């Protein structure tokens, strides 16, 4: 995906640039049409891959072998199944009071698979998400909107540094108005979300424009990002005004927004309600607790967002393959990846709303920087067989360059504890621009060296504490920093060591640390 994103990017920006490197992240606007073509190009040359299109309507299991039938009665026989149903499982589209069955606009949903999952014991829930209107770029008045230009130097998602010659496109910013707010307030009863038509819970961090107006009445305007969808068409995405209001109200909303007064709507906004399942019923491999060989990934686990779905997809795919050939499965940890944080959260906490991954969810986020992702994960990938010889050679060359640059930085006393100190002086070193990625990684590594050492020590101490005995007279309700959810999980089982607590499904590292610290304080009097 990193390679494909770099091939298809039409706009790059680094988020949180003014903050420390541990919370900086690259964001790319991808050409949607080009991405589809590029993905198909890579899939077409992938060895041992056969692609079939159809709806899975029935799954039979005989002697630990799955027989998956499509709507035409064709059967696929397999040792493992990965379900990545997105918003298609029992999907229902809402535009005002109108409802349609479907997984996306003009695409049919999957309406038969959920009954089988229910029979296995998986617990269903209903979630919702939404999408904004798409409008014609040529119908927008650019004199009334603010340009957000492409960052000058292209960052990379893939450490192979894939460059592209795509025409770079700006994003643009506008805002809703007082009139927009009034229109929504007057028509709120027509929204599928507020009429009671939708029962599913929506994402807190990506609310609809109705939610913003109702829940933040003190805000007179809300930001809208105008994002190009492709260099090959005129369709733009109005990020920030997803809605389930009727189409005639959507037109009124557009006319009330500076720059969009004469906008031509190419596709209306809509909300979509779909079935997800309780991710507490999964193992850390993303395999079902109820059936070996059955894996879940993406929105079916209660997440929202492309990145979250992709991260689960690669883990479920790897582990499905490893299960099929009898190998032990890959479990990433909270201290080595955001994937590990997310999966641990999903199986440890009750998901009551669509889940998004934020840096704030990771207690070890200083270790999880964008620039050291190759250091954290490439060797794991090599060990399990998904990093090829070319990628491995590139990784080792990059590591050598970073080690060399760290020595240069130390000798030059460039890295002195603040991000700005190092990067203000780097230009004086005369280092080639082709090494900028390695240079940033080396500078960040030097900057956080002491913090990393301290965090790794904490992690090791927690691992050693797994053998610490838990006093029989311990009173769980007295432990500071232990949430009520964690207390209830621990009270339900008999535990004698910290390791016993760690094995309870749903216990977080933070909870373990709270218990360990409490026992140590008590034992020291």
Asked whether the beta carbons of 238 and 135 are under 8 A apart, the reply is yes
* Opening angle at CA 124, ends 121 and 129, nearest 5: 155
**pLDDT beyond 70 at 433:** no
The per-residue pLDDT for 363 is 83
The per-residue pLDDT for 420 is 40
DSSP string of 152-193, one letter each residue: SS---SSTT-----PPP--EEEEE--HHHHHHHHHHGGGSTT
Nearest to 109 by CA among 87, 88, 127, 130: 88
Q: How far is CA 524 from CA 458, 465, 468, 474, 480, in A?
A: 19, 16, 14, 15, 17
Mean of pLDDT values over 126-150:
95
**pLDDT beyond 80 at 388:** yes
Q: How confident is the model at residue 439 (pLDDT cuts 50, 70, 90)?
A: confident
Alpha carbons 255 and 241: distance in angstroms, whole number: 13
The per-residue pLDDT for 429 is 59
**pLDDT beyond 80 at 152:** no
What domains sit in the chain, N to C, each tagged with a CATH number?
2-42+131-274 (2.40.30.260), 365-453 (no CATH), 468-523 (1.10.150.570)
**pLDDT beyond 50 at 129:** yes
Alpha carbons 195 and 50: distance in angstroms, whole number: 45
* Opening angle at CA 119, ends 118 and 125, nearest 5: 10
Alpha carbons 109 and 91: distance in angstroms, whole number: 5
Q: Tokens in use for 107?
A: 């695409």
**pLDDT beyond 70 at 352:** yes
Q: For the sheet containing 270-277, what is the strand order?
A: 98-101, 92-95, 270-277, 124-131
The set of residues, in sequence order, having a beta carbon less than 8 Å from that of 209 and lying 6+ positions away, is 176, 180, 184, 222, 240, 241, 242, 243, 253
- Give the percent of the chain with pLDDT over 90: 60
Which is more confident, 329 or 365? 329
Q: How confident is the model at residue 428 (pLDDT cuts 50, 70, 90)?
A: low
Count Cβ atoms below 10 Å from residue 317 Cβ, excluding itself. Answer: 17
Q: Tokens in use for 167?
A: 């025409």
Mean of pLDDT values over 436-464:
85
24-77 pLDDT, tens digit per residue, is: 888 999 999 999 999 999 999 999 999 998 899 999 999 889 999 999 999 999
Q: For the sheet containing 223-228, what is the strand order?
A: 146-148, 171-175, 223-228, 235-239, 134-136, 265-267
Mean of pLDDT values over 125-147:
96
Q: Could you tell me the end-to-end alpha-carbon distance of the chain, in angstroms, rounded to an integer?
A: 54
Alpha carbons 30 and 5: distance in angstroms, whole number: 7
The mean-pLDDT minimum among 90-99, 127-136, 187-196, 351-360 falls in 351-360
395-424 pLDDT, tens digit per residue, is: 999 899 888 888 877 776 655 444 443 444
Q: Tokens in use for 318?
A: 């790897």
The per-residue pLDDT for 360 is 82
Write down the pTM of the prediction.
0.88
The per-residue pLDDT for 417 is 46
**Average model confidence (pLDDT) for the chain?**
90
206-234 pLDDT, tens digit per residue, is: 889 999 999 999 998 999 999 999 999 99
The per-residue pLDDT for 427 is 54
């Amino acid at each position: 995906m990193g390679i494909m994103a770099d091939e298809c990017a039409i706009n790059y920006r680094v988020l949180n640039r003014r903050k420390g490197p541990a919370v900086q992240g690259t964001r790319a606007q991808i050409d949607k049409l080009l991405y589809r073509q590029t993905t198909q190009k890579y899939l077409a040359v992938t060895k041992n891959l056969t692609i079939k299109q159809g709806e899975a309507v029935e799954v039979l299991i005989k002697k630990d072998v799955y027989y998956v039938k499509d709507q035409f009665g064709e059967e696929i026989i397999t040792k493992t199944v990965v379900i990545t149903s997105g918003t298609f499982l029992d999907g229902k589209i809402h535009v005002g009071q109108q409802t349609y069955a479907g997984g996306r606009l003009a695409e049919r949903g999957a309406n038969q698979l959920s009954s089988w999952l229910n029979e296995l014991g998986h617990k269903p829930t209903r979630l919702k998400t939404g999408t904004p209107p798409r409008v014609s770029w040529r119908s927008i008045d650019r004199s009334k909107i603010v340009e957000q230009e492409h960052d000058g130097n292209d960052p990379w998602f893939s450490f192979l540094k894939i460059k592209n010659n795509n025409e770079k496109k700006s994003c643009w910013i506008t805002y809703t108005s007082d009139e927009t707010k009034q229109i929504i307030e007057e028509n709120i009863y027509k929204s599928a979300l507020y009429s009671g038509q939708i029962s599913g819970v929506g994402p807190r961090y990506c609310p609809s424009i109705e939610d913003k107006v109702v829940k933040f009445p003190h805000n007179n305007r809300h930001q809208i990002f105008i994002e190009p969808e492709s260099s090959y068409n005129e369709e733009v995405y109005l990020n920030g005004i997803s809605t389930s209001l009727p189409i005639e109200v959507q037109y009124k909303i557009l006319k009330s927004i500076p720059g969009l007064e004469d906008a031509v709507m190419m596709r209306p906004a809509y909300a979509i309600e779909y079935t997800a399942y309780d991710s507490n019923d999964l193992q850390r491999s993303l395999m079902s607790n109820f059936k070996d060989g059955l894996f879940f990934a993406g929105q079916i686990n209660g997440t929202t967002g492309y990145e979250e779905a992709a991260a689960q997809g690669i883990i479920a795919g790897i582990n499905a393959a490893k299960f099929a050939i009898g190998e032990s499965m890959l479990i990433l940890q909270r201290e080595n990846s955001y994937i590990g944080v997310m999966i641990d959260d999903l199986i440890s906490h009750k998901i009551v709303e669509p889940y998004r991954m934020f840096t704030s969810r990771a207690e070890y986020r200083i270790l999880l920087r964008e620039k050291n992702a190759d250091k954290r994960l490439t060797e794991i990938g090599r060990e399990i067989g998904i990093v090829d010889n070319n990628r491995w050679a590139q990784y080792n060359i990059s590591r050598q360059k970073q080690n060399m640059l760290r020595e240069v930085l130390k000798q030059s006393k460039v890295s002195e504890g603040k991000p700005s100190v190092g990067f203000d002086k780097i230009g004086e070193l005369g280092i080639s621009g082709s090494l900028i990625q390695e240079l940033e990684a080396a500078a960040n590594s030097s900057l956080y060296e002491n913090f990393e050492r301290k965090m790794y020590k904490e992690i090791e101490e927690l691992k050693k504490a797994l053998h610490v005995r838990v006093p029989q007279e311990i009173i769980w309700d007295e432990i500071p920093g232990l949430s009520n959810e964690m207390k209830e999980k621990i009270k339900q089982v008999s535990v004698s060591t910290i390791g016993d607590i760690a094995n309870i499904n749903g216990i977080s590292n933070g909870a373990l640390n709270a218990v360990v610290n409490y026992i140590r304080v008590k034992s020291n009097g």
